[in-house]
Amino acid sequence: MAMQEKLKLLDEMERMALMPGTRERVEKQHASGRFTARERVDMFFDKGTFVETAMYAQHQCSDFGMDDYRPYGDGLITGFGEVNGRLVYIYAMDVTVYGGSLGHTTQEKLNRLLAEAREAKAPVVGLWDGGGGRIQEGSSYGFDHFFAQNIKSSGVVPQISVIMGNCAGGSVYSPALTDFIIMVEGMSNMFITGPAVIKRVTGEDVTMEDLGGAKTQSEISGVCDLVAKDEADAFRMTKELLGFLPQNYLENPPVVDTGDDPERSEDALLDMIPENPRRPFNMHKLIGMVVDNGDFFEVKAGFARNMITGFARLGGYSVGIVANNPRVNAGAIDSDASDKAARFFRTCDCYNVPLITLVDVPGYMPGVAEEHKGIIRHGAKMLYGYVEATVPKICVVIRKAYGGSYTAMGTKTMGADYTLAWPTAEIALMGAEGAVQILYGKEIKAAEDPEAVREKKREEYMQKYGTPYYGASRMIADVVIRPQETRPLLIRALKLLKDKKKSFPARKHGNIPL
């Protein structure tokens, strides 16, 4: 066969591989307001950089009439390309082919792709849109191989799962094993068993959206990290998220010239804290004033809102921020907030992202419900995650820093490299009201004017213990700073710590209280 004929055959083979689904199925996908898998891949990568792998792979199943339809690619696109000039691997389910289900061939493609990405030390993005395992092939056996690849890649290269449609059954555990999950509002669903099965087994009536939609998984379960408005927004989020992360665990995140003056001070921070210690303030606004250009990329924004987690840049350095939110439950730490913070501590540590904690915490959430939920176990995860992290760790005490809850946010003894305290900081075992009642309860009760004595004792306690200077005298805080100096001092600390190296005693691994 002459070269021209071979090239003509190649053109025809590529044409068939690039359009595996029927035109009717493609039109149905478009009619639902969604893009096809190949359109999504083209949207995601820098133009002209995508290289597809295993394009001509086909399933080998001859049962249930499947030998009549053996499309190239077998309903899964795999390959690599560049995102903002950086290498990224991708896999994308094609719902127009066998409903995006995963058979033996597709699962082998997934296994190979993750192994290749791990060897290349490059991030992996998965676009999920399908019906789980392919029943005709009895393919559930392949999921364990893929899960194993997810786990082997965990902490080696960033893994991001973008749920573009349905993700059900065994399939959901692969995204759950990745670093981040992004869902699309009104389009994405994740659940182990669907509404029909639940109705049959338990008698409960529930819609797909209420069971496993983006709102449910981002606000109630905490499975989802980010919610996009549409597919284009999901890709924007994915690219922005990748920008905060290194290619792999051996590298540091990229340093970016954001154009924001590292020495910029914010006088508006002077008016941030109310005089009444019971009144909340806007921690999100505080974060925006300190970070580069006010850009804060919040993660799990709708879940455990009493704890804030997210990425930002300071002087161009990528940082992970964990902060109490005094506007929700006064910033007290409950079970969900503990899980949220612990997970974020560990994720940042995996990928060499320095941690900054902003503290205004009155304590752990009291109550029977939290005790029964296991606040002791969940709170211990947060302690473990912070101490385990070897990245630069800087703590800023804004206001309340009480007892064990402050410990969970990162004290010197828990491994904070630097602790900065605002003049409004209260570093104490507990608040003045509670302390005075324990220390002087009998004296107050016996006084002619109990309230006057209580207030006098409270003032005395506050003057001695409720100031940052007591903490500084005990070297709990390294330095008391002016609020407007927060940004430049954080950036200087990051520069000092950028080459930090720390290791733990030799062991197989610790036993985090899961």
Enter the DSSP assignment of 95.
T
Give the per-residue pLDDT at 492. Answer: 97
Round to whole Å and give the CA distance between 158 and 246: 8
* Res. 58: pLDDT tops 70: no
**Where does the pLDDT of residue 65 fall: very low under 50, low under 70, confident under 90, or very high at 90 and above?**
low
Give the per-residue pLDDT at 452. Answer: 76
Give the per-residue pLDDT at 177. Answer: 96
pLDDT 10s digits, 416-462:
999 999 999 998 877 777 777 787 777 777 777 778 778 777 777 77
Instruction: Please report the beta strands in 355-434, taking only residues with DSSP state E, as ranges in sequence order.
Output: 355-361, 393-402, 418-421, 426-428
* Mean pLDDT lowest among 298-307, 347-356, 439-448: 439-448
Residue-wise DSSP of 277-291: TTS---HHHHHHHHS
DSSP bridge pairs for 287: none
- C-alpha 126: how far from its chain's center? 16
Q: What angle do CA 91, 303, 399 make, to 5 degrees?
A: 130
Residue 313, SS3?
A: strand
Which stretch, 55-59, 406-410, 451-455, has highest mean pLDDT?
406-410
Round to whole Å and give the CA distance between 511 and 324: 26
* Res. 138: pLDDT tops 70: no
- The more confident residue out of 165 and 68 is 165
CA atoms within 13 A on the CB side of 273: 17
Give the per-residue pLDDT at 66. Answer: 61
From 133, 150, 151, select the one nearest 142 (Cα to Cα): 133
Mean pLDDT of the chain: 89
* Res. 389: pLDDT tops 70: yes
pLDDT 10s digits, 263-294:
999 999 999 999 988 899 999 999 999 999 99
440-to-400, 435, 462 alpha-carbon distances in Å: 22, 8, 14
Phi, psi of 449 (to 5 degrees): -125, 85
Give the per-residue pLDDT at 168. Answer: 84
pTM of the complete model? 0.93
Domain architecture of the chain: domains with CATH = 3-244 (3.90.226.10), 267-425+467-497 (3.90.226.10), 432-466 (no CATH)
Angle between helices 104-120 and 141-153 (to 10 degrees): 10
Give the per-residue pLDDT at 60. Answer: 60
Q: Please say whether the beta carbons of 103 and 111 come within 8 A.
A: no
Enter the DSSP assignment of 213.
B
| Look-up of token digits 């902060």 | 323
pLDDT 10s digits, 21-56:
667 777 788 888 889 889 999 999 999 999 999 777
Q: Please say whether the beta carbons of 85 and 46 come within 8 A.
A: yes
pLDDT 10s digits, 14-29:
776 667 666 777 778 8
Give the per-residue pLDDT at 471. Answer: 83
